[in-house]
Amino acid sequence: MAERVPYEEGYFTVPADPAEAPRLLGTRCRACSEHFYPRRATCARCLSDDVEPVALGPRGTLYTHTFLHAVGFGEHKSKLQGYAAGQIDLAEGPRVQAVLVGKPGDFRIGMPMELVLETVAQDKEGRDVVMYRFRPAA
């Protein structure tokens, strides 16, 4: 299996073991315990800068979802299929917007979701460039 690298550094983990769930890289405020995603230097709730990096997820609850009948960002194929997008409430609190893995009819508001990585491209070194998605939890 090809080595995996994140689409962009600093937003999610890419475990060396593909069977291990990825995590989102967030922030926890030490003053008021609020969690944020993505990372912040200052708490948006109490304005404290006493914050620490934390790993969030990999599970959450589907808050809402829709299906976009449009070519996905970065895709240049004319075979129009579309993709699902949704908002997931993480157990720690933050609501995250993401592309969902599945087809229309696969999703219900309130269902448990899990974070996964999807290969979206190969880089010049032949590594898999991955992005995070959510799918209905097994």
The letter for the amino acid at 20 is E
Contact pick of 3, 45, 66, 97 for Zn ion (by CB under 5 A): 45
Stretch that binds Zn ion, among 20-28, 37-45, 80-88, 99-107 (CB under 5 A): 37-45
Stretch that binds Zn ion, among 23-31, 71-79, 81-89, 103-111 (CB under 5 A): 23-31
Give all strands (DSSP E) within the chain, no chain letters: 4-6, 24-29, 35-36, 51-56, 59-68, 83-90, 95-100, 112-122, 128-136
Nearer to Zn ion, 56 or 113 (CB): 56
Nearer to Zn ion, 35 or 65 (CB): 35
